[in-house]
Structure 1
Amino acid sequence: MFILHIPKGPPRPAVLNSLRPPIQRGLTSVASTNDSTNSPIPSRYSRLSNLWLASGGMTAAEDEDSHDKLIRAGYLRQSHAGIFHMLPLGQRVQEKLEKLIDKHMLQLGASKVSLSSISSQALWRKTNRLEGYGPELFRFNDRKKIAYLLAPTHEEEITSLVASTLTSYKSLPLRLYQIGRKYRDEIRPRHGMLRSREFIMKDLYTFDYSVKSALETYGQVREGYSRLFDELKLPYIVAEASSGDIGGDLSHEYHLPTPIGEDNVISCNSCDYIANEELAIARIETPENLPEIDTGEANPSLEVLQGARVWRGVTKDRKALVNVWYPRSYSEKDVNTHFIKSILPDLDSSLEDAFALWGSILGSAIASKTEESLKSYHFVDYRLGPQLINAIKRGGPQFLYSSKPGDIDTTTLTSEFITSTSDGTLLNTVRIRDGDGCPKCESGKLKVQKAIELGHTFHLGSRYSEPLNANVNVPLSALEEQWDPTKKGTESVPLQMGCHGIGVSRIIGAVADHLSDEKGLNWPRAIAPFEVVLIPGHSLTNDAVELANYLTSRGDQTDSQTSTTPIDLVIDDRSESLSWKLKDADLVGYPIRIVLGKRWISEGLCDVQCRRLGAISLVSKAGLLVHINGLLSQL
């Protein structure tokens, strides 16, 4: 028998002890077992002395926003423009949010996968999204000159994966989700984690073999999303939405109202009408007498056209000038380019001076005698009436094409005047304002709210399954759309898909903004880095350890009087002063803080504070657990 003798080394330096990582137990760190209480069971709380906290100090900038607070409190650091490192506190918030999402995805019967962040450009070309997605794609070639991209979304990859592995319609419905990093080459990253170039996202992809079952799945996912946001206790609103680059014909967005939001959500004060600005419409209220816009001049100029202004854009192929005519009482920033794009998807609304660009395009076309391939679109607001069209036509080519009509043969150029949508609805070319009429009810008035999009659900149909040949053989007797039990044989049908996203890192930034105040951050219980911070006064660390053991161990007891859930608690056992630690606790945003001070020494009473609820109480040890859980249940 061999005995291996390992000599005992020198004592571990104290500085290394202070930097050792805490043992992990789920999401709750476990402190070392050599506490002063000599508890035989490992403690279920953490110590801040065991965490790396990259605090930015106590002094706030004069114009500090919630993102600055996240940095100053040690949640994250920016590495490059729009790219961030998550630090220990931020990582705990992210992991708790991911765990919450996992729970609700499990309730939907979804299986978790992890798809590669690298996707093939050739695969995206099959669905016509490679060029359509625009310059926001991070593209690169490997050493063999094969073209790849960093995926901002995974519809192509998941569809290709399922198409290659699905063997029977009996495996449907299939629900697969992942939580991972996505990439978007934002031209101007802003608002910290709300608009970044690298972000964490949950995307759920659903597969059914019929439209009916796919819509049932869509409804179940919507219910699951509502349960998730309810648990976060956020004042979210659900709006009908445009499917945009993702595709499909049914879509809803989940928004958190906030003044820094980049989206506008339109809602009615009388009925349940809610839609985002890309889809919302106002009630058309045609005036009894349309204005007479007629100056009587042979070539009226823009300045003398009464009551009207024009906004100009071009199409993406640069072959058409787009003129949007709207009432003079509005400004150019009021033009609803989202609505115009719904009619003319090829509109490029990003140019600051589209008319100047059009002038150079027209000049080149005239020089090469190819101007007959150019045209113009005129979108005319319903409030301006047909009289404006007559004035524009009589005004000559400066209104149709150019401010220098002398060299233009207008007989070779075509113009299209658009006054209504395909269903006959008159055009409202300006953005909706507070007080506009609701399109769904007679008495309702619309309200415009700034909001941040937290989640989005899409019914994709066969948008991706058809070009990627994701089909499945289904017995004719099982197809709900043409159900007939007497039918024999099978039919190959494209999979009916859904795509449902939640912005994980965006929720962190949005919640930080929504709940922060002048003192610091405030977190909902569900995703707080720790639910409770226990701050001992001078020489009371041992008392804090004993109290922490009592609170975290009692959470497992189930008798009728003290039945509670385990508390995620941390002790601030650092060497800083009590006042410093109190300010730091406010900045970090723990839902509840317990302070052991003079009243603990003299009367055994804890100072329990919940800043978000405005609750301050002196509580004895015996009633502490019930009191804390009562506060946490509201957060």
Structure 2
Amino acid sequence: MRFLSQIFQPVITIPKGAKIKNTEITCKSQKLLLECGLVRPTSSGLFTILPLARRAITKLENIIHSCLEEVGAQRLSLPCLTSAKLWEQSGRMEDIGPELIKVEDRHGKKYLLAPTHEEAIADLFADVGPLSYKQLPFILYQIGNKYRDEHRPKHGLLRSREFSMLDTYSIHSSNDCATNTYSIMTEAYKKIFRSLDLPVHRVQAPTGEMGGSLSHEWQLPAEAGEDTLAVCASCSHTALANQSNTCEKCGKGTDAVNSIEVGHTFVLGTRYSEPLQANFIAQNSSNMPLHMGCYGIGITRLISASIESLSSDKSIRWPKAIAPYSAIVIGPKEGSKEWLGHGFDKVESIARQIEQNGCHADVIVDDRHALTIGKRLMMADRMGYPYIIVCGRSALETPPRYELYRSAEGGAPQILDIHELLATLHKQNKNKIDVEYSEKCVAK
């Protein structure tokens, strides 16, 4: 159990009625993350991720680990610095040049801070290979920081110079095998976004500078998005917007919706294996170039995009699965009548019981008892904790009853005794487990 007074959360308090002029804040997710003490800018496009946001990212990473391990993916870590020579061999140094952050060591050897690792993976298999076709396929993934010299960083974590990213690479002996893995990874991606309960659309996209034969973007509708989707109200088909405004599936009109790209998947073919000589030994004993696929999710971008999509201008709303804490318990104001009858020891007891009934290590206590319940309730709602439990006037009843607020729903609280409260929270957790189990059965 954690206490809110001990959390490093440098909240920015704006006086009521004050007019704030800050042209650098360009969207609500950036504003909320900054004002709620979740991130701190260090310079243009660079941010310190503070403890509560780091906790949300860790939860997201755990969901991703689980979904990828289920499809047989193996985790590895590649260096952030990649030899510039590899990018020259693949031909991408010229294509993406201005976006690359380049460095040189004391011996004059040139490197770059990698925005992605296709060349590094191809070089790895060139170095250890050639492998036998019998050993393939492999799915390898990592989660780490990537770097891009954005011309104009904006929207906070949505477009920054340093960002956390999942990048997954699949290695195959044939295009058919690569396409089959692409389908498997597509289902894994769908499960990740289902776990977050986010309306992410998978749309066909050009392969662009990455190359390859097939590409899909994963787009989350949001007002601040720089991409545009064409959504058909008639057949629900969704695609990247074009000039026709006509649905390619049913021929009817479409609505334009702003969106944020949170993931991208590719069938790369031999685009990187051929120039970097990453081969395998085929069944006929000949050396053949590996077929590759790659799959990315912007971790920090997805955190920000989900807030952008779900939140109001004044309050954060998280996907429940990645809220920094699932529940917060607010006790009475110190010195009040409620405090004398339901003091801090009883507040701690409530929090412990909630932890023991399905919220293990996921409950925080607002122990700032000098503040009124109303003030702390307002701040908890602004932070978007899914469940807010208040020990107020009803806690003096026999038996004591507690107010349960759900930030995502708003409105009046439920007034519950401890058994009803625990049963309600347990039911919510059980529903989550049942959904996950059902998805696992379907996946199998």
Normalised by the length of structure 1, the TM-score is 0.63
Deviations 1:472-531, CA, capped at 9 Å, x for gaps: 0121xxxxxxxxxxxxx3232211100100000001111111122244111121110000
How far, CA to CA, are the matches of 1:62 and 1:588 in structure 2? 22
1:53: how far off? 1.8
- Over aligned residue pairs, what C-alpha RMSD do you find? 2.0
1:141: how far off? 1.5
CA distance 1:58–1:573, shift in 2 (3 Å): farther
Say whether 1:523 aligns with 2:318.
yes
Say whether 1:623 aligns with 2:420.
yes
Say whether 1:168 aligns with 2:132.
yes
Aligned match of 2:388: 593
Aligned match of 1:466: 274
1:210: how far off? 0.8
CA distance 1:177–1:576, shift in 2 (3 Å): farther
Quote the sequence identity (%). Answer: 38
How far, CA to CA, are the matches of 1:437 and 1:100 in structure 2? 37
**Which secondary structure state, in structure 2, belongs to the residue aligned with residue 130 of structure 1?**
helix
How far, CA to CA, are the matches of 2:419 and 2:235 in structure 1? 50
1:270: how far off? 3.8
User: Is 1:82–1:196's contact at 8 Å kept on the other side of the alignment?
Assistant: yes
Say whether 1:151 aligns with 2:114.
yes
How far, CA to CA, are the matches of 1:598 and 1:58 in structure 2? 30
Q: Which blocks of at least 5 consecutive residues in structure 2 are unaligned? A: 21-26, 334-338, 436-444
Q: Which amino acid aligns with 2:125?
A: V
Q: Which amino acid aligns with 1:438?
A: C
How far, CA to CA, are the matches of 1:461 and 1:141 in structure 2? 31
Q: State how 1:536-615 maps to structure 2 within 5 Å.
A: 536-538=331-333, 539=339, 540-555=343-358, 566=360, 568-577=362-371, 578-603=373-398, 604-614=400-410
Aligned match of 2:10: 54
Say whether 1:212 aligns with 2:168.
no
Q: State how 1:198-347 maps to structure 2 within 5 Å.
A: 198-271=162-235, 273-277=237-241, 280=242
**Which secondary structure state, in structure 2, belongs to the residue aligned with residue 78 of structure 1?**
strand
Q: Which blocks of at least 5 consecutive residues in structure 1 are unaligned? A: 1-44, 281-430, 476-488, 556-564
User: Is 2:171–2:292's contact at 8 Å kept on the other side of the alignment?
Assistant: yes
Normalised by the length of structure 2, the TM-score is 0.88
Tell me which of 488, 504, 507 is aligned to 2:302.
507
Deviations 1:567-614, CA, capped at 9 Å, x for gaps: 721111124412332222122111110000110122411100012123
Aligned match of 1:447: 255
CA distance 1:249–1:274, shift in 2 (3 Å): farther
User: Is 1:207–1:498's contact at 8 Å kept on the other side of the alignment?
Assistant: yes
Aligned match of 1:287: none
1:80: how far off? 0.5
User: Is 2:218–2:262's contact at 8 Å kept on the other side of the alignment?
Assistant: yes
CA distance 1:273–1:519, shift in 2 (3 Å): closer
Q: State how 1:20-169 maps to structure 2 within 5 Å.
A: 45-57=1-13, 59=15, 65-166=28-129, 167-169=131-133
Aligned match of 1:368: none
Deviations 1:216-272, CA, capped at 9 Å, x for gaps: 000000011001101100111111111111111211111111111001122334446
How far, CA to CA, are the matches of 2:237 and 2:13 in structure 1? 46
User: Is 1:67–1:512's contact at 8 Å kept on the other side of the alignment?
Assistant: no
Deviations 1:404-430, CA, capped at 9 Å, x for gaps: xxxxxxxxxxxxxxxxxxxxxxxxxxx
Count of aligned pairs = 413
1:630: how far off? 4.0
Deviations 1:429-462, CA, capped at 9 Å, x for gaps: xx34xxx333343x42233211001111101011
**Which secondary structure state, in structure 2, belongs to the residue aligned with residue 490 of structure 1?**
coil
